[in-house]
Amino acid sequence: MEFRHLGRSGLKVSEISYGNWLTHGSQVEEDAARQCVQAALDEGVTTFDTADVYAGTKAEEVLGRALKGVRRESLEIFTKVYWPTGPGQNDRGLSRKHITESIHGSLRRLQTDYVDLYQAHRFDHETPLEETLKTFDDLVRQGKVLYVGVSEWTADQIGRALKIADEMGFDRIVSNQPQYSMLWRVIEAEVVPLSRREGVGQIVWSPIAQGVLTGKYLPGQQPPEGSRATDASGSAMIARFMKDDVLTRVQDLKPVAADLGLSMAQLAVAWVLQNPNVSSAIVGASRPEQVRDNVKASGVKLDDDVMKRIDDVLGPVVERDPGRTVSPATRP
């Protein structure tokens, strides 16, 4: 496993991290969840990503139990706040009240005194940015959070936050967590150029497009049994990629991967890691073999000809519109 700095910070993260959205506390049983975490640890993954909202807070509990006994200093544990974690009007968003209450719940569930990175899971249009950033800064000073980041923020929102932090002397955002894959490149036009200038690293989610870039979903056919596309909550999430034109072009990537001696999943993860603004690619897994497959993308270099071949194969099905980075207009 190779390691990269998280943005311009001093923190190093494994360039492939493990995330438990839709799996822990939900699609997969606890035994399988533990096996996936153990496989990640065995393969040198040190960075683990979760969120308060995953599986209605159960995902943090499962991850906390799975990592129990592992030397805390050898891990980077990331979590997030914003989406609803309860029925009340203050159980969501980025107010001082919800952030403060949510971090305490996350620390309890993860069985740790601090998280390495605390991320605003979306932009909250109902809370002054100063209130959110001051609260994050207080958590850093209290030692409950070591670094702060955001997720799915636009370049404008990240730029505004950095300006306020600089003016007020608050801790700066070091990372953004956007969706990024061969099929979803919406950060390239605006978020990445600003982030490179400002030292913000991308920790990218769904690098395998939720399994689609493994090539296991065939156009015009039923999805394989037990895959995310057959899962009750997962099927809605993966739907945007389950279109015949996308699935057909993904099949055409198979010779590209084969020529390089890579699996399709490895090619997909290696592709996002070619972007130097990417600090880490967060992979998900429902089975430990998947983790062992995906981590082999660490350190793989793809030359310009390969990158061009991929672009030629995927052509018009690649999404590039920066306007696709959106947070809800009002709190969910």
> Which residues are designated catalytic?
54
Q: Which one of 6, 16, 21, 77 is in contact with ligand NAP (CB under 6 A)? A: 21
Considering only residues 162 through 201, tell me which ones interact with ligand NAP, judged by CB under 6 A. Answer: 177
Is residue 78 within 8 A of residue 123, CB to CB? The reply is no
Element (H, E) at 197: helix 191-198
Give the whole-angstrom CA distance, residue 323 versus residue 187.
Answer: 9
Residue 302: left (phi > 0), alpha (psi -120 to 50), or beta?
A: beta
Tell me the DSSP string of 248-279: HHHHTTHHHHHHHT--HHHHHHHHHHTSTTEE
Nearer to ligand NAP, 191 or 209 (CB): 209
Side chain identity at 234, as an amino acid letter? Answer: G
Shortest distance in whole angstroms from residue 264 CB to ligand NAP = 8
Based on the shown chain and the rule CB under 6 A, indicate whether residue 214 belongs to the binding site for ligand NAP. Answer: yes
Shortest distance in whole angstroms from residue 259 CB to ligand NAP = 19
Based on the shown chain and the rule CB under 6 A, indicate whether residue 64 belongs to the binding site for ligand NAP. Answer: no
Stretch binding ligand NAP (CB under 6 A), from 61-69, 93-101, 280-288, 321-329: 280-288
Secondary structure letter of residue 166 according to DSSP: H
Nearer to ligand NAP, 117 or 306 (CB): 117
The pattern of x and - marking residues 220 through 249 that bind ligand NAP according to CB under 6 A reads -------xx---------------------
Element (H, E) at 293: helix 288-294
Shortest distance in whole angstroms from residue 204 CB to ligand NAP = 8
Give the whole-angstrom CA distance, residue 239 versus residue 214.
Answer: 15
Stretch binding ligand NAP (CB under 6 A), from 108-116, 135-143, 168-176, 290-298: 290-298
Question: What residue has token string 């990445």?
Answer: 192
Give the whole-angstrom CA distance, residue 301 versus residue 274.
Answer: 7
Shortest distance in whole angstroms from residue 289 CB to ligand NAP = 7
Q: Which one of 45, 55, 209, 295 is in contact with ligand NAP (CB under 6 A)? A: 209
Measured distance between the N- and C-terminal CA atoms of the chain, rounded to whole angstroms: 38
Is residue 200 within 8 A of residue 174, CB to CB? The reply is yes
Interaction site with ligand NAP (CB under 6 A): 19-21, 23, 49, 121, 151-152, 177, 205-211, 214, 216, 227-228, 265, 282-286, 290, 293-294
